[in-house]
Amino acid sequence: QKERLAQLGQAVSKISHDLRNILTSAQLFTDRIEMSEDPTVKRMAPKLVSSITRAVHLCESTLAFGRAEEPSPTLTVTPLLRIVDDVVDSERLAINGADLTFTCDVPQDLHVRADPEHLFRVLANLVRNARQAIIATGKSGEIIIAASEQARDWVIRVSDNGPGLPPKAREHLFTAFKGGARKGGSGLGLAIAAELVRGHGGTLKLSETSASGTVFIVTLPKGDGSF
């Protein structure tokens, strides 16, 4: 019973972490819609609905039967740029006037075989961590999301020119509650992202980190290569 409660506690922590962030995005979209009279409200409304839908699906899938594990991904062929654009649009609203730019280097015709919701969560966690690290420095910064297709894999690279990861975060990089890179951080974001990528049979690796910035690489296998 204690083990079961511990597993459930970990599952609830995961839910709380990602749900809080997804709903924060939804709230920011809602504030913009309520205050703005410009035509962009028509573009924002679908994103609000999408954010809320993600939150609902996250609760339903993870809470089912109190499972501590993430549900298996539902693999579909999906344009990667669409997922990246959704992530970047959410993060742009959260910079609060900071001097931070987002650069997207993803071919428009690049399709990957993945669970779109899982991949959104992976990239959202990586980009959010980079955004928070840069803003905490009070300096200008850039986050770059790039992707390419290899013979056997799809490779997604998320890089930034932030302050780099502290030693404690590097030591327990993908361990929940130990790998937090900032004060008050739980380290859950990277732990969740790594678990979701593993569910695809892929890998999430820290390629480099220093005072000049940090690079994470997501590798997703093609399998037999047929669509």
Q: Residue 14 has what pLDDT?
A: 75
Instruction: Tell me phi and psi for residue 150, to 5 degrees.
Output: -105, 180
- Maximum CA extent, the chain: 55
Q: Residue 19 has what pLDDT?
A: 78
Alpha-carbon gap, residue 45 to 23, rounded angstroms: 14
Query: So where are the chain's domains?
Result: 1-71, 72-227
C-alpha separations of 41 from 44, 47, 169 in Å: 5, 10, 39
The CATH code belonging to domain 72-227 is 3.30.565.10
Q: Residue 208 has what pLDDT?
A: 93
Q: Residue 177 has what pLDDT?
A: 60
pTM for the full predicted model: 0.74
Tokens of 51: 């954010």
pLDDT tens for the 227 residues of the chain, in order: 677 667 767 777 777 777 777 877 777 777 667 667 777 777 777 777 777 777 766 665 555 544 555 678 999 999 999 999 999 988 988 888 889 999 999 999 999 999 999 999 999 999 999 999 999 999 999 999 999 999 999 999 999 999 998 887 787 788 766 655 555 455 678 888 999 999 999 999 999 999 999 999 999 999 865 55
